[in-house]
Structure 1
Amino acid sequence: MTRRLLCLHGHFYQPPRENPWIEAIEVQDSAEPFHDWNERIAAECYGPNGAARLKNADDRIVEIVNNYLHLSFNFGPTLLAWLERHRPEVYAHVVEADARSLEGRGHGNAIAQGYSHSILPLASPRDRRTQIRWGIADFRRRFHRAPEGFWLPETAADTATLAMLADEGIRFTILSPYQATRVRAPDGEWVDATGARFDPTRPYRVRLGAKELVLFFYDGHIARDLAFGEALVSPERLLARLEGGFDPGRAHDEILSIAFDGETLGHHRKGGDETLAAALRAAGRRPDLEIVNLGQALDRIPVEWEAEIVEGSSWSCAHGVERWRSDCGCNAGGPPGWNQAWRAPLREALDVLRGKLDGIFEREAAALFPEPWRTRDRYVDLVLDPERQDADDLLRREAGRPLTSDEVGRALRLLELERHALLMYTSCGWFFSELSGIETVQILRYAARAIQLARDLVGLDLEPAFEAALARAPSNEPALRDGRRVYQVLVKPSVVTLEGVGAHLAIASSVRPLPDAGRTFCYTYRLEGRRSTQSGPVSIALGRLQLESVLTRETLDALYCVLHFGAADFRCGLSPYRGPAHAQEVEAALLGRPHAQPLSHLLREVDRHFPGRDYGLGDLFLDERRAVAEVLLEGTMERYEDDYLEIFEDNRRLMEFLHDIDSPVPGPLRVAADVTLTRRLLRVTGAARAGDIDLASAEAELTATAELARRLGAHLHLAAVRHDVRELVEGRLAALLAGRSPGARATELAAILDLAKRLGLELDLWDAQNKLWAWAGSTLVTVDRAAAADLARHLWFDEETLLARAGFAAEG
């Protein structure tokens, strides 16, 4: 019998979204209810595929499995860096899957990817090599081995790119069947393969001078059906569709490869993670089918046939790689009549800018390093280390001598300039329909950061010429006109200096408590001599702040003054710190007689000692701006809530009467009921979290309040209530898992979950389910059978399955 091997490959990727000045993703309202799109897609896809649910006919969980154990996969390096920091449990599932597959199959499921997802055939040879080397370095750091395979962003390929992969020790890559131009059997003639008219279930060799690379061509029809068709409707449908990719008439061992965007599984197609898990479980039980990764496949099937590819081709553009440099007609949405004539001018503007940036780097770095471009390739070691602990050692090795602190700072800024020059080619900047889309604005922000670094390093302003070049890129939005306007309106306001970061810190510290030293974004800080007072209606905060960039070693040492005139009216000034005597002089002038001096005199003193730019609330980074606004609103809302309580208590019987006679309750009274009863719920849940009331009392009061709201037709605002109840669940679950009075905690947890259901809170139980499943499989189960069964029911497990996993014998 011939072998039937199946490999499903998921390409998991998000573009880098970090603000280039703070290396953090700011809130993205379009991703609501999540903070940003990485958070949202992690919750909908990356997490669920690491803990996919297998369910029975009653929609009850019978097992939780790691889909990554059975997928070939690549994760974008910048996405993995984000997961490691923000979703370590998801990151652990990915890393674990590769380690376990390596142990069980002899080859790991993970393959590497170009670092920042730029289109490699369109990159300069030098940038292409760096993107490949950085991708490989990132892979080695995370998976502790060399990669066998490499995912080309958008599968964009040409012979030069494939040759470079082979030079770097890569064994294979994955392409679309439409990227093959001809194939041939051993000692046979070349056969036309255009239009995917060839057998994709063989591995193919492509000759690259003295080296070669193996190509796996995925099945295009099945991949399209999985991404856009009906293949994920059910496990049975998916398995049948996969089986249709094999053909007994081929009479040879087959490796059926299916490549798709990993985000299809749960993000683009809700429930896709569960469908895949069930289909993989069924496929794994088939004696005539073996699920493999591609390294494994090369152990099973010899590479005998050859292939040649279409130069400059990809999987997501019918015109090759034109989607990333011309108005080829490929786009993603947008109203009728929109075009992408902006793509070519955008690439041209960036290419010219890159040439100038590279010239600055090569010229300036040559004074520090014998081989500047080799140093850029090795800079990835620092990029992958957020704390930059080995920066001095790496730079000393590259320079061949110790560097002064000034030279270290200059070297780091030059290397950061090049990192942003690489990031500004992220492919998503061209993929969509409009120049002003968030993806294109993001790559322009990387360009702006590189321009800023160049200006700081050599005093050369590249921005005017760049803006002039962008003016040739037309926007589809009439109000924005062109790329120059997009850059000026959507990019330049986000450009921040070190002083701007200091002002952000000063304003934030005047509103909410901050420790004297710590880290904010990619900066370490120290606050000293903090003083504050009130001068009439104005609050004054004064102090010294020291700031250092973790990335570039740039420093700021300044006195700050923050005036708060009330509401959102802030004024912040910074002045270079010139020693204790100067600091005392400023403090005496501003805080010496705060109640005696008129406001006009105070403002004149501020102007004299802080003559530079004024900063306000709008200069804070977006998340901090909203956090400060929330603090400012808190007191105001408390005052209004007291007013609403009085209105509600005075008119409660009237509202009940109106409701009884089926007469509408006036809007102001209805709002008073909404606010008051929601506040009552929060008071009870807060007291329960703090342990100030017992759970039974809390349950009785919450139930009574919810019933009163129902009778009055009040609308309860449940988001904050849901947050409190979720914390109650997490607290009881943590105590249960730690073995602290597990019987009592299990009973309380079930009661809280039952209460949440009656209140209509619709809690997200995903994390609790994962933890209970792990607990049931451990040696920590010390509750009785009835309590375990009750928890299983409330957390949507199949009762008998969870009990069996926890070691309880079947009844009867």
Structure 2
Amino acid sequence: MPRRLLCLHGHFYQPPRENPWIDEIEVQDSADPFHDWNERIATECYGPNAAARIKDGAGRIVDIVSGYRHLSFNFGPTLLAWLERHRPDVYGRVLEADAWSLERTGHGNALAQAYHHAILPLCSPRDRRTEIRWGLADFQRRFHRAPEGFWLPETAADSPTLAALAAEGIRFTLLSPYQVRRIRLDEGDWRDATEARFDPSRPYRVRAGDRELAVFFYDGHIARDLAFGQALSTPEALLSRLEDGYDDTRGHDEILTVAIDGETLGHHKKGADEVLAAALRRLAAKGEPRIVNLGQALELVPVRWEAEIAEGSSWSCAHGLERWRSDCGCNAGGEPAWNQAWRAPLRSALDGLRDRCAALYERASAGLLADPWRARDRYVELVLDPERRDVERFFRVEAARPLAREERVRALRLLEMERQALRMYTSCGWFFSELSGLETVQVLKYAARAIQLAREAAGEDLEPEFAEALGRAPSNVPALRDGRRVYEQLVRPSVASLERVAAHLAIAGLVQPLPDSGRLFCYRYRVRGRRVGRAGAATLALGRLELESLATGERLDALVCVMHFGAADFRCGVEPWPGEAAQAAVEEALFARGEAASLPELLRAVDRAFGGRDYTLRDLFLDERRRVAEILLADSMRRYEYDFTRIFEDNRRLMEFLRELDSPVPGPLRAAADVSLSRRLSSLTRRIGAGEVALRDGEPELRGTVELARRLGVGLHLDPVRRQVLEVVEARMADVAAGRGAAARAAELVEVLSLASRLGLTLDLWAAQNRLWDWAGANGAALDRDSLAALGRELWFDEETLLARAGYAPLAPEAIA
């Protein structure tokens, strides 16, 4: 009997969002309440699929499984780098899933991907090769094996791109059924296959020049129903829709391949991660169709048919590749009347900048790098090592000769310039509706960083010509007018120098002291001879700051001075370090009179020593700017809270009387009650978490405060309370898992969770549930049966399942009775 095979593929990807001057993602308000979109989608999708819940009819957890074990998947390399740093729990489960599948089937679930998610058919041949090689190097570093398959960004393909994959040893890729032009069996006659009129349930051989590779084509109808229809609404709906993908009349082994954006599973469709996990569980129990990855499928089913692809095609543009180079009508978001006439001029401007950078790179690296383009292909080794530990080894291989330090810095600047030139082709820059959108501004920031590095490495200014070319890209926003205005207003202010990073450190360090040495963003720093004191009406800090870029090796040795005049009024100066004697003289001039110094006198002394530009709070990078603002606001907010509390206490009886009469409470009094009662709740939960107040002692006041707010018709700000309670939950759960007074901590945890429920606090228990489930499987019997059952109930587990996982035998019927 012909076999039925099933491969579900998830393309997990987020565009790189890092500020190119600090290589960190700054806060994105549109992702609220999360810091940024990576963090939000990791919480809604990447994490849940790593630990998907399987639930019973009552909504209780009966199992936690890794969806990645049964998915074919690719993760964008830049997303994996972010997960490695910020969500190592999820990152570890992704790697584990590939290793698990490799051990059991001989083929890993993971596919490689082009590094920066550029549209490869639109890249120059040299850039296409580098994008592929960087993607392969990233994959090998993370998964410790060579990839068999490769995901093409947006499945954008043409013959040169497929040939480039085959040349690097890739065996197969995955495309849309609408990317096929014609097919044939062995060397038989060609058949028309346009509009997906062919059998997608088998692998095909595709020739690309003198090379070939296997291609799987996913089922377009089912993929569309998963992404945009109701196929992921329930496990039953998913299984039914997958069943429709098979056809008994085909008479051959069928490989049903379905590919979707991985973010569909939990981010775009809430709960889809659980639907998928439940459906896969049922399929595994049934045994058919057999769940496989594409490497398995290629081993099980011989490739006898050949396909010819539609040149320059993709899965997300009906017009081929036009979404990334013309006003084809494909877009996302924006206003109905907007157009994308900006796409072609933007690509033209970036192509021109890329070519000028390439020429400069070749010319300026002559005598520094033995083979500049081989060095660029291998530069990924340093990119993948944020601490740049292998710089010495890199230059031993790639340098044309032993290089002096200044020459190394120049070579690294040139290589970084080329990295930014690759980054600026991230496909999302063209995907959406408007030139001034978040994603397009991001690629322009990479362009600005490349321009800055070209200027620093070779003294060439590429910006005027680039800005002029951008002026031909029309914006849909009248106030911005065109790409040149977008660049000037939304990109150029972001350009940062080493001096600005130094000012950032100095100002932030005055508000909240920093260690004397360490790492900040992609820089190492050391502070020497720092002195802080009062000078007249200002707080003054002076010191020597040594700063080194991890990316380029460039250094700054500076004397920095910060004056704080109160509130948000800062002034910072940065000058080359003048030597110890000169620093001592400046220090004497600034601090000599202490609090007796007059403000004009102080300012004149600072102006004499620091004649360059002034840096202010606005020059801090965004996250630190907001953190400093919060610190500066804290004292004012405490005073306001005290005033509100006094107003509330003075008028509490009046408010209760008005409520008894069913009369409205004036807005100012409601605001005072809101602030006062919210503050009371937050303070008490903080003290309980710190162990200053026992939970049983604090519960009456907590419940009384919530009840009082209800009686007065006051809305409470519960987010700070929720965060504090969740911190307590996770801390207690960590103690249980670590065996630190497990029984007592478990009992406290049950009390905390029960109280949270009574207070109406909705908590995100995902991390605590994962920890309990993992711990129960390893040594759950270290906790007595009743304690484990009680804790499991509060964390929404099915008790018997959790107890069985911990090794407890089921209770006899008479014991239950």
Contact 2:49 2:68 in 1 (8 A): yes
SS at match of 2:564: strand
- 1:384 maps to what in 2? 384
Q: How does 1:314-329 map to 2 (within 5 A)?
A: 314-329=314-329
Deviation (angstroms), 1:779: 1.8
Contact 1:392 1:408 in 2 (8 A): no
The answer to whether 1:605 aligns with 2:602 is: no
The answer to whether 1:48 aligns with 2:48 is: yes
Contact 1:775 1:781 in 2 (8 A): no
- 1:356 maps to what in 2? 356
* Counterpart-to-counterpart distance in 2, 1:427 and 1:595: 57
SS at match of 1:679: helix
Deviation (angstroms), 1:333: 2.4
Residue by residue over 1:299-337, the C-alpha shift from the partner in whole angstroms, topping out at 9 and shown as x without a partner, is 110011111111100001111101100011111122111
Out of 543-552 and 780-789, give the one that drifted further: 780-789
SS at match of 2:782: coil
Contact 2:733 2:745 in 1 (8 A): yes
* Counterpart-to-counterpart distance in 1, 2:651 and 2:230: 56
Task: Structure 2: give runs of 5+ residues left out of the alignment.
Answer: none
SS at match of 2:761: coil
* Counterpart-to-counterpart distance in 2, 1:701 and 1:653: 18
- 2:235 maps to what in 1? 235
Contact 2:722 2:763 in 1 (8 A): yes
* Counterpart-to-counterpart distance in 2, 1:531 and 1:788: 55
* Counterpart-to-counterpart distance in 2, 1:707 and 1:287: 54
Residue by residue over 1:450-507, the C-alpha shift from the partner in whole angstroms, topping out at 9 and shown as x without a partner, is 0000011111111111111001000011111000011011101111111001001100
Contact 1:563 1:571 in 2 (8 A): yes
Kindly provide the amino acid, as one letter, of the partner of residue 171 in structure 1: R
The answer to whether 1:751 aligns with 2:747 is: no
- 2:678 maps to what in 1? 678
Kindly provide the amino acid, as one letter, of the partner of residue 228 in structure 2: F
Contact 1:739 1:780 in 2 (8 A): no
Residue by residue over 1:765-806, the C-alpha shift from the partner in whole angstroms, topping out at 9 and shown as x without a partner, is 011111111111112432222221211111111121111111
* Counterpart-to-counterpart distance in 2, 1:721 and 1:24: 29
- 1:691 maps to what in 2? 691
Q: How does 1:697-708 map to 2 (within 5 A)?
A: 697-708=697-708
* Counterpart-to-counterpart distance in 2, 1:404 and 1:619: 33
- 1:154 maps to what in 2? 154
* Counterpart-to-counterpart distance in 2, 1:259 and 1:26: 31
- 2:451 maps to what in 1? 451
- 2:86 maps to what in 1? 86
Contact 1:349 1:466 in 2 (8 A): yes
Kindly provide the amino acid, as one letter, of the partner of residue 11 in structure 2: H
* Counterpart-to-counterpart distance in 2, 1:539 and 1:53: 54
* Counterpart-to-counterpart distance in 2, 1:535 and 1:187: 88
* Counterpart-to-counterpart distance in 1, 2:275 and 2:340: 37
The answer to whether 1:260 aligns with 2:277 is: no
- 1:281 maps to what in 2? 281
- 1:544 maps to what in 2? 544
Residue by residue over 1:142-163, the C-alpha shift from the partner in whole angstroms, topping out at 9 and shown as x without a partner, is 0000000000000000000100
- 2:331 maps to what in 1? 331
SS at match of 2:793: helix
The answer to whether 1:592 aligns with 2:592 is: yes
- 1:650 maps to what in 2? 650
* Counterpart-to-counterpart distance in 1, 2:436 and 2:482: 9
Q: How does 1:110-125 map to 2 (within 5 A)?
A: 110-125=110-125
* Counterpart-to-counterpart distance in 1, 2:595 and 2:295: 76
Out of 449-458 and 532-541, give the one that drifted further: 532-541
- 1:21 maps to what in 2? 21
- 1:715 maps to what in 2? 715
* Counterpart-to-counterpart distance in 1, 2:715 and 2:582: 57
- 1:732 maps to what in 2? 732
Contact 2:470 2:482 in 1 (8 A): yes
Q: How does 1:269-308 map to 2 (within 5 A)?
A: 269-308=269-308
* Counterpart-to-counterpart distance in 2, 1:207 and 1:724: 60
Out of 764-773 and 530-539, give the one that drifted further: 530-539
Contact 2:749 2:791 in 1 (8 A): yes
Q: How does 1:486-501 map to 2 (within 5 A)?
A: 486-501=486-501
* Counterpart-to-counterpart distance in 2, 1:768 and 1:259: 32
Task: Structure 1: give runs of 5+ residues left out of the alignment.
Answer: none
* Counterpart-to-counterpart distance in 1, 2:334 and 2:612: 44
Kindly provide the amino acid, as one letter, of the partner of residue 562 in structure 2: V
* Counterpart-to-counterpart distance in 1, 2:413 and 2:690: 48
- 2:310 maps to what in 1? 310
Kindly provide the amino acid, as one letter, of the partner of residue 502 in structure 1: A
Kindly provide the amino acid, as one letter, of the partner of residue 477 in structure 1: V
Contact 1:77 1:138 in 2 (8 A): yes
Residue by residue over 1:329-365, the C-alpha shift from the partner in whole angstroms, topping out at 9 and shown as x without a partner, is 1111221111100000000000000010001111111
The answer to whether 1:406 aligns with 2:406 is: yes
Contact 1:396 1:403 in 2 (8 A): no
With normalisation by structure 1, the TM-score equals 0.99
Kindly provide the amino acid, as one letter, of the partner of residue 5 in structure 2: L
Kindly provide the amino acid, as one letter, of the partner of residue 745 in structure 1: R
Deviation (angstroms), 1:400: 5.0
SS at match of 1:7: strand
* Counterpart-to-counterpart distance in 1, 2:93 and 2:343: 38
Shift of the 596–287 alpha-carbon distance from structure 1 to 2, 3 Å rule, reads: closer
The answer to whether 1:2 aligns with 2:10 is: no
* Counterpart-to-counterpart distance in 2, 1:288 and 1:645: 66
Deviation (angstroms), 1:536: 3.8
Kindly provide the amino acid, as one letter, of the partner of residue 494 in structure 1: S
* Counterpart-to-counterpart distance in 1, 2:480 and 2:778: 59
- 1:61 maps to what in 2? 61
* Counterpart-to-counterpart distance in 1, 2:334 and 2:780: 55
Residue by residue over 1:494-543, the C-alpha shift from the partner in whole angstroms, topping out at 9 and shown as x without a partner, is 11111001001100001002111111100011112222222343221111
* Counterpart-to-counterpart distance in 2, 1:60 and 1:84: 31
* Counterpart-to-counterpart distance in 1, 2:431 and 2:371: 35
* Counterpart-to-counterpart distance in 2, 1:649 and 1:335: 50
Out of 754-763 and 493-502, give the one that drifted further: 754-763
- 1:506 maps to what in 2? 506
With normalisation by structure 2, the TM-score equals 0.98
SS at match of 1:173: strand
* Counterpart-to-counterpart distance in 2, 1:194 and 1:769: 49
Deviation (angstroms), 1:71: 0.4
Out of 62-71 and 329-338, give the one that drifted further: 329-338
Shift of the 400–360 alpha-carbon distance from structure 1 to 2, 3 Å rule, reads: closer
Deviation (angstroms), 1:230: 1.1
Deviation (angstroms), 1:283: 1.3
Out of 251-260 and 445-454, give the one that drifted further: 251-260
The answer to whether 1:199 aligns with 2:199 is: yes
The answer to whether 1:614 aligns with 2:614 is: yes
Identical columns (%): 68
Contact 1:155 1:315 in 2 (8 A): yes
Aligned length: 812
Kindly provide the amino acid, as one letter, of the partner of residue 681 in structure 2: L
* Counterpart-to-counterpart distance in 2, 1:322 and 1:713: 56
SS at match of 2:596: coil
* Counterpart-to-counterpart distance in 2, 1:651 and 1:209: 84
* Counterpart-to-counterpart distance in 1, 2:739 and 2:640: 44
SS at match of 2:9: strand
Deviation (angstroms), 1:755: 1.0
- 1:77 maps to what in 2? 77
- 1:669 maps to what in 2? 669
Deviation (angstroms), 1:645: 2.1
Contact 1:99 1:108 in 2 (8 A): yes
Kindly provide the amino acid, as one letter, of the partner of residue 695 in structure 1: L
Deviation (angstroms), 1:758: 1.7
Residue by residue over 1:180-212, the C-alpha shift from the partner in whole angstroms, topping out at 9 and shown as x without a partner, is 101001231011111110000111011234421
Kindly provide the amino acid, as one letter, of the partner of residue 244 in structure 2: G
* Counterpart-to-counterpart distance in 1, 2:448 and 2:377: 22
- 1:175 maps to what in 2? 175
* Counterpart-to-counterpart distance in 2, 1:57 and 1:573: 65
Out of 655-664 and 361-370, give the one that drifted further: 655-664
* Counterpart-to-counterpart distance in 1, 2:619 and 2:208: 54
